[in-house]
């Protein structure tokens, strides 16, 4: 196969991501040698149905073998098989669906069997990206920073900059584009900052029967309770030095904190918490970034973006302003990482997950027809 026989030759890799917001599966093609982005290709999206989202929600916090986790895995595998079958690629990067993440305890659990997907698609699949990092003392997250480093090179960045992903959880990647490789000491610092869309989506579902706060309309109508925002930032997570990572349900008392607020004030308070968490996280950067580029669904919320612009001491803009696709960046990241895994290149390092040394994570499953 080309990846094994001709190391360094560019290939078309297909990445897939199903995030903690539980909205659906993103897929994206990237032509890469695992070090440089050469070309971005087709993208696709397969939404989860309401019934599928309920199965996935029931699986949150569950570990392998639990009936709810088994049911969630079946949903994830079916949705990915349906979407990814529409693409032609040399290799697939399959993240799966994170159901539980406890790196200092039971480990990390992404539902979905990559070996099964390799048989269905007929191409090699790289999956289980996080377990090796966790086994070696890392947080297992975030995983996109090595791709962010490649993106910084692709856009021609010269000064330190940051990527902010506003998914269910928010994470920051500080990048020094002058470094020769992502695993170079000081090239990257990455960590989860706190909640982003997940609590707001949960609020909308619980109180309004809606999936998300479209255009930030509800948050814009409310006033954030700044006392609650400050109280939230007393949580022990914010005292930890990065790298560090979060589970989607790391803050179980958050819904209780806002329970007495009106819908609009609760939404505004959750936005305030997300923004304040990001601002607090930037205090850990080794040098001020010259800009923050925002990816993930949260960049479509004008209230979050406006508050970020006020809270941060540098320009804040969606990644689209530099020609990247904020809806597909994480899927593209797993395409890129799949090639790195196949070629024995590291995918995490001390600056991204706190792992003791640069390590390549992920399992490579080949279809039996190749065998």
* Residue 12: pLDDT over 80: yes
Predicted confidence (pLDDT) per residue in 318-349, tens digit: 999 999 999 999 999 999 999 999 999 999 99
Distance CA 272, CA 223 (A): 9
* Residue 215: pLDDT over 90: yes
Predicted confidence (pLDDT) per residue in 71-102, tens digit: 999 999 999 999 999 999 999 999 999 999 88
* Residue 2: pLDDT over 80: no
Q: What does the H/E/C string look like for the chain?
A: CHHHHCCCCCEEEEEEEECCCCCEEEEEEEEECCCCEEEEEEEEEEECCHHHHHHHHHHCCCCCCCHHHHHHHHHHHHHHHHHHCCCCCCEEEEEEEEEEEECCCCEEEEECCHHHHHHHHCCCEEECCCHHHHHCCCCCCCCCHHHHHHHHHHCCCCCCEEEEEECCEEEEEEECCCCCCCCCCCCEEEEEEEECHHHHHHHHHHHHCCCCCHHHHHHHCCCCCHHHHHHHCCCHHHHCCCCCCCCCCCCCCHHHHCCCCCHHHHHHHHHHHHHHHHHHHHCCCCCCCCCEEEECHHHHCHHHHHHHHHHCCCCEEEHHHHCCCCCCHHHHHHHHHHHHHHCCCCCECHHHHCCCCCECCCEEECCHHHC
Same fold, 2-139+328-370 and 156-322: yes
Across the range 47-69, mean pLDDT stands at 96
Percent of the chain with pLDDT over 70: 98
**Residue 62 structure tokens:** 């569950």
* Residue 1: pLDDT over 50: no
Domain ranges of the chain: 2-139+328-370, 156-322
CATH number of this structure's domain 2-139+328-370, picked from the four choices 2.40.128.20, 3.30.310.50, 3.40.50.880, 3.30.420.40:
3.30.420.40
* 156-322: CATH number: 3.30.420.40
Q: What is the mean pLDDT of the chain?
A: 94
């Amino acid at each position: 196969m080309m990846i094994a026989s001709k190391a360094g030759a560019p290939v078309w890799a297909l990445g897939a991501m199903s995030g903690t917001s539980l909205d659906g599966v993103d897929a994206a093609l990237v032509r890469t040698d695992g070090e440089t982005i050469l070309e971005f290709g087709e993208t696709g999206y397969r939404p989860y149905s309401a019934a599928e989202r309920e199965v996935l929600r029931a699986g949150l916090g569950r570990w392998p073998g639990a009936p709810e986790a088994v049911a969630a895995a079946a949903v994830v595998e079916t949705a990915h098989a349906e979407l990814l079958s529409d693409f032609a690629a040399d290799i697939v990067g399959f993240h799966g669906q994170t159901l539980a993440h406890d790196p200092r305890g039971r480990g990390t659990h992404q539902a979905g069997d990559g070996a099964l997907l390799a048989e269905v698609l007929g191409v090699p699949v790289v999956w289980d990206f996080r377990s090796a990092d966790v086994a070696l003392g890392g947080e297992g997250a975030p995983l996109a920073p090595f791709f962010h480093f490649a993106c910084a090179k692709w856009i021609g960045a010269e000064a330190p900059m940051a990527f902010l992903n506003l998914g269910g959880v928010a994470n920051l990647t500080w990048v020094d584009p002058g470094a020769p490789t992502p695993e170079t000491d000081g090239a990257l610092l990455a960590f989860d900052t706190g909640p982003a869309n997940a609590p707001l989506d949960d609020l909308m579902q619980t109180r309004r029967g809606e999936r998300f706060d479209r255009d930030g309309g509800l948050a814009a109508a409310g006033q954030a309770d700044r006392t609650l925002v400050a109280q939230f930032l007393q949580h022990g997570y914010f005292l930890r030095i990065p790298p560090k990572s979060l589970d989607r349900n790391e803050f179980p008392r958050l819904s209780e904190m806002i329970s007495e607020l009106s819908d609009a004030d609760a939404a505004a308070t959750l936005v305030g918490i997300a923004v304040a968490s990001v601002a607090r996280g930037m205090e850990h950067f080794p040098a001020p970034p010259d800009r923050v580029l925002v990816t993930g669904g949260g960049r479509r919320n004008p209230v979050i973006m406006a508050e970020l612009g006020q809270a941060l001491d540098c320009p804040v803009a969606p990644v689209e302003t530099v020609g990247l696709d904020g809806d597909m960046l994480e899927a593209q990241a797993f395409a890129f990482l799949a090639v790195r895994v196949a070629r024995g290149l590291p995918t995490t390092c001390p600056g991204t997950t706190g792992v003791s040394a640069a390590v390549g994570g992920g399992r490579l499953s080949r279809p039996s027809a190749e065998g």
